[in-house]
Amino acid sequence: MGNEDSSATTNAGEADFGRKAAMALLAQATVQEMKDFWAHWADKPQVETLRGPETGLVMMRGRIGGGGAPFNLGEATVTRATVRLGNGAVGHAYALGRSSEKVRLAAIFDALWQEPAYRQTVEDTILAPIAQRLNDNLEDRRAETAATKVDFFTMLRGDN
Amino acid sequence: MYVAVKGGEAAIRNAHKLLADRRRGDRSLPAIGLDQIVEQLALAVDRVMAEGSLYDTELAALAVKQARGDVIEAIFLVRAYRTTLPRFGYTKPVETSQMAIERRISATFKDLPGGQLLGPTFDYTHRLLDPELAEDGVVETPDHRVEAPEHTPRVTDILGHDGMIEADGDMPEGLETGDLTREPLSFPLERDLRLQALARGDEGFLLGLAYSTQRGYGRSHPFAGEIRIGEVEIELEVAELDFPLTLGRIRVTECQMINQFKGSSKQPPQFTRGYGLVFGQSERKSMSMALCDRALRARELGEDITAAAQDEEFVISHSDNVQSTGFVEHLKLPHYVDFQAELDLVRRMRGEHERRESENSETKEAAE
């Protein structure tokens, strides 16, 4: 496995950046979102599952003092899958949790994203709504937290 | 001679059936769903994830339900489950400085960049039972305050600039990060392994030890420099891709404890630190962890080891509640043969004791 998409080597760094962001969004999609996007995907490719979906663990790490040497904090469940589309494009997906269906579909969308013909559609119809939801959640949380910020005031005493 | 005794299969089967019945309780009441446990008993779920050392809210909720709310039993179930799964790898360390903050307070600086953010806290509640909660009343939506995101530096970084406080902890060059799930512990430990053990350690045990340091058993003059709660991103390097993959986000609680240190021949007087990092929203646990981390650095800082909380082998060997409960609760299992042997032994000893007594009184009488 690896980077089968040879056209991406022209500006690999940029493509990696885009794909990293795309895969990050797919990992944070809900299973319902993935199912809905797949149900609405018009021209469904042939899909061969190369690996998984399988659930395992990752050991997550922290840093001593927040920024020092690493230590092992504890594990999390992770599910991963690898698929190959009819035209040979290979997609991978890894996500926290145990949702096989979500991760299998995410791997398909990762493969589709790598194809120039489909990239824009994946970006617009799948990644954009996920990003919007995540961002709305983040903004909501931030505003709710900001409302609990302490505004200190000083009582003036005496007359000087 | 060893005699195997069989029996009790039917009793065990029926006992487990009875357990299932009692767990379900009154059938006229609706069963609670895992989503309800995740949403409404979130801090119990967090504790099971932290001490089960497995981040998965749904599994932790299932464990809470299966254990009838017995948190240590739930932790046990989660630990047992994790042994059935393969491990894909080690993630990159989480960056708590990049946390999406939901609560952040400092007891050492009033006006710090980013401010004091109280978040969803029990602090300042009056701890009066709320009869309204017994009814299923409408809950108001929280207030919003929209403002530009502010930089929220760690308090320890603010103090760090002029050397008043020690740096984040480093480990010796080239040292591989220890993992107690792979290698049995052998004492003395490095700080990374201690932190791993503390992060999954029993909250009650660590709380008691932390309290003991405040009461003078290994005193370390602590201040809560900063506590922050929020979500951090998890990234994993995988062989098939050239870039670290984002797997999602988890919620953690971080505590930076700041402690006095009078200095040593090697170091000038400065503030030292204890560190706590725990899955979920768990302020008490992260504070206890930070206090224990600091106390356990006594050897490294050249302090006298006089108290239980400073004794690494004592603290770490007894902090795991699954190990502790296993050994304490195994006393319930049949020890019939062991006990028979002890009974014989005590009978023999008593016989000898009585014989000696009577011999003594005879010799006494003879002497008189």
The reported pLDDT for the residue numbered A16 is 64
Asked if B243 has any chain A CB less than 8 Å from its own CB, the reply is yes
Q: How many domains does chain B have?
A: 2
CB B292 within 8 Å of CB B281: no
User: Chain B partners of A61 at a C-beta cutoff of 8 Å?
Assistant: 90-94, 177
Tell me: do B55 and B197 sit in the same domain: no
Q: Which residue in B90, B101, B245 is closest to A94 by CB distance?
A: B245
DSSP A102-124: HHHHHHHHHHHHTSHHHHHHHII
Q: Which of B118, B157, B152, B103 is nearest to B280 (CA)?
A: B103
Strand locations in B45-152, DSSP E? 54-55, 87-93, 100-105
Strand locations in chain B, DSSP E? 54-55, 87-93, 100-105, 222-236, 245-259, 272-279
Q: Which helix (H) or strand (E) holds B187?
A: none
Q: Which of B105, B38, B41, B44 is nearest to B73 (CA)?
A: B44
Tell me: do B56 and B101 sit in the same domain: no
Q: Is residue B134 situated within a structural domain?
A: no
Chain centre to alpha carbon of residue B355: 54
Tell me: do B38 and B112 sit in the same domain: no
Cα–Cα dist A148/B144, whole Å: 9
Model confidence band, residue B2 (pLDDT cutoffs 50, 70, 90): low
Tell me: do B37 and B153 sit in the same domain: no
Asked if A143 has any chain B CB less than 8 Å from its own CB, the reply is yes
Model confidence band, residue B150 (pLDDT cutoffs 50, 70, 90): confident
Q: State the complex-level ipTM.
A: 0.91
Tell me: do B199 and B65 sit in the same domain: no
Q: How far is B167 from chain A (nearest CA, A)?
A: 8
The reported pLDDT for the residue numbered A152 is 83
Cα–Cα dist B100/A139, whole Å: 10
Q: Which of B310, B348, B339 is nearest to B188 (CA)?
A: B310
Total number of residues shown for chain A: 160
DSSP 8-class letter at B117: B
Boundaries of domain holding B156: 96-119+149-168+184-322
Cα–Cα dist B198/B206, whole Å: 8
Closest chain B CA to residue A92: B240
The reported pLDDT for the residue numbered B132 is 87
Asked if A137 has any chain B CB less than 8 Å from its own CB, the reply is no
What are the residue ranges of helices labelled H in chain B? 9-24, 34-40, 42-52, 57-66, 71-82, 131-134, 155-160, 191-199, 203-214, 283-295, 312-318, 321-329, 336-367
Q: Is B141 helix (H, G, I), strand (E, B) or coil?
A: coil
Question: Two tokens at A29?
Answer: 């999609």
Q: Is residue B282 situated within a structural domain?
A: yes
Tell me: do B158 and B46 sit in the same domain: no
Model confidence band, residue A3 (pLDDT cutoffs 50, 70, 90): very low
Question: What is the mean pLDDT of the segment spanning B314-334?
Answer: 94
Question: Two tokens at B80?
Answer: 């047992």
Q: Is residue B106 situated within a structural domain?
A: yes
Question: What is the mean pLDDT of the segment spanning A104-108?
Answer: 97
Question: Two tokens at A43?
Answer: 């021209």
Cα–Cα dist A112/A121, whole Å: 9
| Three-state secondary structure of A32-92 | HHHHHHHHHCCCCCCEEEEEEEEEEEEEEEEEHHHCCCEEEEEEEEEEEEEEEECCCCEEE
Tell me: do B72 and B155 sit in the same domain: no
CA distances from B35 to B42, B43, B146 (A): 10, 13, 30
Q: Is residue B243 situated within a structural domain?
A: yes
Q: How far is A9 from chain B (nearest CA, A)?
A: 12
Tell me: do B40 and B70 sit in the same domain: yes
pLDDT tens string B23-51: 999 999 999 999 999 999 999 999 999 99
Q: Which of A126, A115, A101 is nearest to A22 (CA)?
A: A126
Question: What is the mean pLDDT of the segment spanning B99-120?
Answer: 93
Question: What is the mean pLDDT of the segment spanning B130-152?
Answer: 89
State yes or no: pLDDT of A6 exceeds 60: no
Tell me: do B111 and B230 sit in the same domain: yes
Which comes out higher in pLDDT, residue B5 or A8? B5
Size of interface A-B (CB pairs under 8 A): 229
Question: Between chains, do B181 and A1 touch, taking CB under 8 Å as contact?
Answer: no
Model confidence band, residue B261 (pLDDT cutoffs 50, 70, 90): confident
pLDDT tens string A57-99: 999 999 999 999 999 999 999 999 999 999 899 999 999 999 9
Tell me: do B69 and B191 sit in the same domain: no
Side chain identity, residue B355: R
Question: Between chains, do A58 and B236 touch, taking CB under 8 Å as contact?
Answer: yes
Q: Is residue B347 situated within a structural domain?
A: no
Q: Is residue B32 situated within a structural domain?
A: yes
State yes or no: pLDDT of A10 exceeds 80: no
Question: What is the mean pLDDT of the segment spanning A129-152?
Answer: 94
Tell me: do B44 and B189 sit in the same domain: no
Place of tokens 């690494």: B312
Q: Is residue B125 situated within a structural domain?
A: no
Question: Measured in Å, how far apart are chain B's first and last C-alpha atoms?
Answer: 49
Side chain identity, residue A159: D
State yes or no: pLDDT of B294 exceeds 60: yes
pLDDT tens string A11-55: 555 566 699 999 999 999 999 999 999 999 988 999 999 998 999
Cα–Cα dist A105/A109, whole Å: 6
Question: Two tokens at B3?
Answer: 């005699």
Q: Which residue in B100, B180, B256 is closest to A66 by CB distance?
A: B256
Average pLDDT of every residue of chain B: 92
pLDDT tens string B188-245: 999 999 999 999 999 999 999 999 999 999 888 899 999 999 999 999 999 989 999 9
Q: Characterize B280-292 residue by residue with b for buried, 16 or more Cβ atoms within 10 angstroms of its Cβ, and e for exposed.
A: bbbbbbbbbbbbb
Question: At which of B60, B82, B104 does a domain end?
Answer: B82
pLDDT tens string B123-140: 999 999 988 888 888 999
* Strand partners of residue B276: B255
Q: Which residue in B90, B168, B175 is closest to A59 by CB distance?
A: B90
CA distances from B80 to A89, B48, B102, B286 (A): 39, 13, 32, 24
Residue A33 CB neighbour total at 10 angstroms: 18
DSSP B27-65: TTSPPPPHHHHHHHSHHHHHHHHHHHTEE-HHHHHHHHH
State yes or no: pLDDT of B116 exceeds 90: yes
Tell me: do B158 and B50 sit in the same domain: no
Q: Is residue B29 situated within a structural domain?
A: yes
Question: Two tokens at A153?
Answer: 């005031």
Q: Which residue in A20, A69, A140 is closest to B169 by CB distance?
A: A69
